[in-house]
Chain A
């Protein structure tokens, strides 16, 4: 099935640094979501974006829905060790229904002290 391309694939950063990752698609999505997955666990929803151009924050996390509706980015400010994990973007093309998501390839984040 289709997947969204995420970059970078992985990153090592030091505690306190800011992190930026993005997600691109060849097709349009009407909803963009960002999830975090810890090892051996299911994904947890971090941020949901519903309008093109929308910029939404959740604590140290900020995400934006690209104007073209084909991309999104996630920023994490002042990273801490518990930010370690895999971050997935997900897009939904249909509106108004509990329709299926397309997941990105993931960005693995590792934070060093």
Chain B
């Protein structure tokens, strides 16, 4: 149980284009989903927290107009990198949490590697 998928697993795009990454909880309903960014040989840095049906909460320094997050259902959250540039190249990982009393742990997706040319 508690499987989280991401699509695509890797994407290469041209500078200036927008890229959408999907995060799905496959066997549970996730009230909260998180988006992280990870640079090579670095730790995970939280970008934003999204709750189903409400606006995402972004961490300091993360541009909400650059990284659009939509959590339209209890099993799907999307991250759209708008007008991507080479510095946006990174490994993006989502996680999902049940958010039920006593069951708060985050289960992570396999990640999406974005390369912007």
Contact = CB atoms under 8 A, between A and B. Distances in A.
A104 B46 contact: no
Interface string A3-40: 10000000000000000000000000001010100001
Given A100-B34, A100-B46, A103-B44, A43 B99 contact: no
A1 interface: yes
Contacts of A102: 46
Nearest to A9: B41
Interface in B8-50: 31-32, 34, 42-46, 49
A88 B31 CA distance: 24
The range of chain B's interface size is 20 to 34
Interface string A24-67: 00000001010100001111110010000000000000000000
17 contacts: A1-B45, A33-B105, A40-B110, A41-B110, A42-B6, A42-B95, A42-B111, A43-B44, A43-B93, A88-B43, A92-B104, A98-B32, A98-B99, A98-B104, A100-B34, A103-B43, A104-B43
Interface of A: 1, 3, 31, 33, 35, 40-45, 48, 88, 92, 96-106
